Structure 1
């Protein structure tokens, strides 16, 4: 980053204000090489069921006469299935060199069962391999680029809404220069904010005071992260546009945020019914321990506003609330790269190589920007 250090020092770039944006660009991977984690999980469960049926057949048709019994399980680890194969082989004294195949040969029952279990073992290994590559935060990957994830791109040249292998490219822009870049295989920008800010801090030794981002980065976790690291919360919340431009939505009397309160602080609906506090519950999968309060209407029976207030609720309406929840754009940089420079598909494969590619492109972008500024200053002088 010596190039950035030189340019930023010469042009006195403000690193306290940074404008964050992300875009999805197609990976250098074949388009029909997808592997879906959910499909692997379902198929693995089907294999578990088939193994149980096969174990029953082995016990009844072969091993029962030898005084041996294999134990069934709801789920089968790869090591355990390998043990079952060895136990069956030793119990029946099978010799794999005597196995037959092809036309004119009749396989023995023991050979059929042994090879069927071998096939299930290989399938389990394949599914485990696919699930391990996907990891916890991804649902798919490409066989020709394991780090690429299948995403829905804005540029659908195939015209059939087909998911394509892609990466989520992130940039932090300061005074029109790209100050930090990052690449993630996640479709959501929300998951990319913290890694980008950590990278910014690693490069410049501090966090930006004012990180500006659109509603795609909005999350309670990201707001808390900003607060913990001394950054102002300049990210738009998810419903920002609707709540600032849609007057009908903002003035809707049946939104919980528009309910009045009595002297005791209880929420009162348009029909004058009180909402009673029921409990405080934790939000699932929230690492910061976020909680929300649950309130229930004392009675929705006979309410004339029920069809407008809660048409899908069978009983009393419940609401969930959290009191703590109660720009210059970086798109210019991506606009120049994608449309003016025709950078619409990656050249390298693998997350580390894609980061290197984006870093080199960012250096070229900053050099071009710095050169153009110096030229304009020379003309103006």
Structure 2
């Protein structure tokens, strides 16, 4: 295990992503979905937002903002990391399209300013990410760098160029000339474009390890769902404190124990798998509505669920951090910034969904996310082993 750890740490091969071609495909589709929506909206601005030339002035503001922020974009991207910059950049296009549903000066101008900033982020992030991925692919497979860079850029810009065709065909299909010179179907069109931009942003997020996102989901689940749906109805609000104390005790013990047992990729994989299995048991019990009737036994059962979830949380926190520390030795700031971003977004998603869906629905979402995350993590570790085995030989 010492030899394995040294190999992973000291390898000069960039391993921010192991399936380079897949990541390029994801990036291509993400930009197509985002820009088919944005560029089609941009084409319409001078014709649908004509009062006071709101549409054209908004676009002018966005490009001035783009020029200004481009001066510092490389510094910001370096600080955030390329993947975080891509995610942040995608939000600007979504907000600008959404602003067109209520086009007023107070909404469009701020959206345009932020769009300029987002545009600088997404394009610097795209160029950096695509080039670094090409370098990694060339290194891992002993290929000529120039050839790989040209191939990846050709695929990306070929796909990106489709946005004008697809986006404007959607515009042609949905907009209708109404009576009195008014155009109908704009609301439906913008909603369609918002959905397209959303899917594009989600694809960019998929460039990030899914387990990072799940680590945030599972923390928020116990804070929002476990306390509200399980503890409060049985033990009252006072019982929330006791239950979360039990959760904390198991979290502490497991974090320390898992940290002591960590020695390399193999140990991390085994410990993560065990933690995921424990959380899967809890989720299955909740999904099946399994419960124990009776005062003391019922209380102990609910506390046991909290303790098991604390074990899972301790495992994921320690092992995910150790995994990033081993894998991203030369870009620790970007790796942990990415982890924090994924976790905070995931936690926010749970808090926003919690008031609007049932516990059973949330459990289904969590179980699905857990399965996807673990499969993705195991696939990634296998790819890492193959890459480093190839370098070792």
Which structure dedicates a bigger proportion of its chain to helix?
A: 2
More strand by share: 1
Higher RCO, 1 vs 2 (CA within 8 Å, ≥6 residues apart): 2
TM-score norm. by structure 2 comes to 0.20
Q: TM-score, normalised by structure 1?
A: 0.21
Larger C-alpha radius of gyration, 1 or 2? 1
